[in-house]
Amino acid sequence: MTVATAFAGMRGAVPVVFRAGCPDCRGRFELAASALRLAIGASSRTTFYSFTCPDCGAAVRKPAGERIVELLTGGGVRTLRLHSTV
């Protein structure tokens, strides 16, 4: 069986996009999962996602609650787990 035969009839995956906004320029846009980074810390204060605003170039960092973490990880956003040194 060839690869073409094995995957015949399958539809291509639709890329996941996330809506975001920039607090500096107030721009609103959609970002691919590859444009976002998620950092998961030991508390809600150390769990956040970040991206660079495509309109003004500002580095944006926003808090990420449980639901946001779930959506971003499910959508393929690269994740960094921060470890406590205590």
- Which pLDDT does position 31 carry in this prediction? 97
pLDDT at 63: 96
What was the pLDDT predicted at 13? 64
Q: What whole-number distance in Å separates Cα of residue 16 and Cα of residue 43?
A: 27
Report pLDDT for 51: 98
Q: Three-class SS string for 9-49?
A: CCCCCCCCEEEEECCCCCCEEEEEHHHCEEEECCCHHHCEE
Strands 48-52 and 37-40: antiparallel
Question: Which pLDDT score is estimated for 73?
Answer: 94
Per-residue pLDDT of the chain (86 residues; tens, 9 = 90+): 676 666 666 665 667 899 999 999 999 999 999 999 999 998 888 999 999 999 999 999 999 999 999 999 999 999 999 876 55
Q: Are 40 and 80 in contact (CB under 8 A)?
A: yes
